[in-house]
Amino acid sequence: PANKKLLFLPGDGIGPEVMRQVRRVIDWLDRKRNVTFDVTEGLVGGAAIDAYGVPLKDETLADALAADAVMLGAVGGPKWDNPTDYTKRPEAGLLTLRKELNLFANLRPAVVFDALVDASTLKADVIRGLDILIVRELTGGVYFGEPRGITDIGNGERRGVNTQVYTTSEIRRVARVAFELARKRGNKLHSMEKANVMESGLLWRQEVTKLHQEEFSDVTLEHMYADNGAMQLLKNPKQFDVIVTDNLFGDILSDEAAMMTGSLGMLPSASLGAPDANGQRKALYEPVHGSAPDIAGRDLANPCATLLSFAMCLRYSFNMDEEAKMLEKAVQNVLSGGMRTADIMAPGMARCSTTVMGDSILREL
Amino acid sequence: PANKKLLFLPGDGIGPEVMRQVRRVIDWLDRKRNVTFDVTEGLVGGAAIDAYGVPLKDETLADALAADAVMLGAVGGPKWDNPTDYTKRPEAGLLTLRKELNLFANLRPAVVFDALVDASTLKADVIRGLDILIVRELTGGVYFGEPRGITDIGNGERRGVNTQVYTTSEIRRVARVAFELARKRGNKLHSMEKANVMESGLLWRQEVTKLHQEEFSDVTLEHMYADNGAMQLLKNPKQFDVIVTDNLFGDILSDEAAMMTGSLGMLPSASLGAPDANGQRKALYEPVHGSAPDIAGRDLANPCATLLSFAMCLRYSFNMDEEAKMLEKAVQNVLSGGMRTADIMAPGMARCSTTVMGDSILREL
Ligand SMILES: CC(C)[C@H](C(=O)O)[C@@H](O)C(=O)O
Ligand SMILES: CC(C)[C@H](C(=O)O)[C@@H](O)C(=O)O
A202-254: pLDDT as tens digits:
999 999 999 999 999 999 999 999 999 999 999 999 999 999 999 999 999 99
Q: Kindly report the pTM of this predicted structure.
A: 0.95
Ligand 1, atom 2, lies closest to the CA of: A91
Q: Which helix (H) or strand (E) holds A331?
A: helix A321-336
Residue B291 known to bind ligand:
yes
Atom of ligand 1 nearest to the CA of A251: 11
B256 touches chain A (CB under 8 A): yes
pLDDT at position B321 is 94
Q: Is the bond leading into B147 cis (omega within 30 degrees of zero)? A: yes
Q: Using the beta-carbon criterion (under 8 Å), do B204 and A160 form an inter-chain contact? A: yes
Mean pLDDT value across residues A9-37: 96
Q: For position A2, what pLDDT does the model report? A: 65
With bands split at pLDDT 50, 70 and 90, how would you rate the model's confidence at A101?
Answer: very high
Q: Which residue of B137, B158, B192, B243 to mutate against A (max A Cβ within 10 Å)?
A: B158
Q: How confident is the model at residue A87 (pLDDT cuts 50, 70, 90)?
A: confident
Cα A176 to Cα A178: distance, rounded to the nearest angstrom: 5
* B197 Cβ inside 6 Å of ligand 1: yes
> Cβ–Cβ of B157/A167 closer than 8 Å?
yes
Could you tell me if the CB of B180 is within 6 A of ligand 2?
no
Assess whether pLDDT exceeds 80 at residue B1.
Answer: no
Interface check A80 vs B, CB under 8 A: no
pLDDT of the residue at B329: 96
Chain A environment of B207 (Cβ under 8 Å): 158
* Yes or no, beta carbons of A123 and B122 under 8 Å apart: yes
Q: What is the mean pLDDT of residues A313-332?
A: 95
Q: State the pLDDT confidence band at A92, using cuts at 50, 70 and 90.
A: very high
Angle at B61 between CA B58 and CA B65, to 5 degrees: 135
Q: Are B315 and B321 in contact (CB under 8 A)?
A: yes
pLDDT given for residue B82 in this prediction: 66
pLDDT at A1: 54
- The per-residue pLDDT for A203 is 97
Q: Find chain A residues with C-beta within 8 A of B82's C-beta.
A: 195, 202, 205
What integer best gives the mean pLDDT of chain B?
95
- CB of residue B227 inside a 6 A radius of ligand 1: yes
pLDDT score of B280: 86
Chain A residue whose CA is closest to B225: A252
- The whole-angstrom distance between B285's CA and the closest CA on chain A is 19
Q: Give yes or no for residue B83 having a pLDDT over 70.
A: no
Rounded to whole angstroms, how far apart are CA atoms A206 and A204?
Answer: 6
Strands B350-351 and B131-137 come out as unpaired
Residue B87's pLDDT is what? 83
Enumerate the active-site residues of A.
143, 194, 227, 251, 255
Q: What is the DSSP string of B159-174?
A: EEEEEEEEEHHHHHHH
Give one DSSP letter per residue of A218-237, joined into a string: TSEEEEEEHHHHHHHHHH-G
Q: Taking 90 as the threshold, does the pLDDT of residue B180 lie above it? A: yes
B29-56: average pLDDT: 95
Residues of chain B with C-beta less than 8 angstroms from the C-beta of A159: 165-168, 203
**Closest residue by CA, ligand 2 atom 10:** B251
B63 pLDDT band, cuts 50/70/90, is: very high
The whole-number pLDDT of residue A167 equals 98
CA-CA-CA-CA torsion sign (A121, A126, A131, A134): negative
Q: In A101-150, which residue ranges form alpha helices assigned H by DSSP?
A: 124-127
Q: B114-136 pLDDT, tens per residue?
A: 989 999 999 999 999 999 999 99
- Say whether residue B340 is in contact with chain A using an 8 A CB cutoff: no
Chain B partners of A165 at a C-beta cutoff of 8 Å? 159-162
Cβ of residue A227 lying under 6 Å from some atom of ligand 2: yes
Q: Output the CA–CA distances (angstroms, integers) from residue A86 to A92, A290, B164, B167, B196, in the order listed.
A: 8, 20, 17, 18, 8
The verdict on a CB contact (< 8 Å) between B252 and A249 is yes
pLDDT for residue A84 is more than 80: no
Helices and strands counted in chain B (H then E): 12, 14
Name the residue among B170, B121, B126, B125 with its Cα closest to residue B145. Answer: B170
B186-199: per-residue pLDDT in tens?
999 999 999 999 99
pLDDT of B73 above 60: yes
Q: Using one digit for the tens of pLDDT, what is the confidence trace for B315-359? A: 999 999 999 999 999 999 999 999 999 999 989 999 999 999 999
Contact A327, A25 (CB under 8 A): yes
Task: Say if residue A277's pLDDT is above 90.
Answer: no
Q: Which SS3 state, helix, strand or coil, does residue B129 take?
A: coil
- At B277, the pLDDT band (50, 70, 90 cuts) reads confident
- Residue A170, Cα to own-chain centre: how many angstroms? 19
Whether the pLDDT of residue A166 is over 70: the answer is yes
* Mean pLDDT on B132-143: 98
Residue A160's closest chain B neighbor by CA? B200
Look at A202 and B231 and tell me if their CB atoms are within 8 Å: no
pLDDT digits (tens, 9 = 90+) for B232-262: 999 999 999 999 999 999 999 999 999 999 9
Q: What is the pLDDT, as a whole number, of residue A163?
A: 98
In chain B, the residue whose alpha carbon lies closest to the alpha carbon of A201 is B160
B290: amino acid identity, one letter? G
Residue B300 pLDDT grade (very low, low, confident, very high; cuts 50, 70, 90): very high
Please judge whether B230 and A148 are an interchain contact, meaning their C-beta atoms are less than 8 angstroms apart.
no
Dihedral angle at the C-alpha atoms of A99, A101, A104, A106, nearest 10 degrees? -100
Averaged pLDDT for residues B14-43: 96
Domains, in order of start, for chain A: 1-105+268-365 (3.40.718.10), 121-261 (3.40.718.10)
Do B92 and B144 form a contact (C-beta atoms < 8 A)? Answer: no
Taking the CA of residue A250 as reference, the ligand 1 atom at the shortest distance is 11
At residue B3, the pLDDT reads: 78
For chain A, the average pLDDT equals 95
**Average of per-residue pLDDT across B9-14:** 97
- Indicate the pLDDT class of residue A28, thresholds 50, 70 and 90: very high
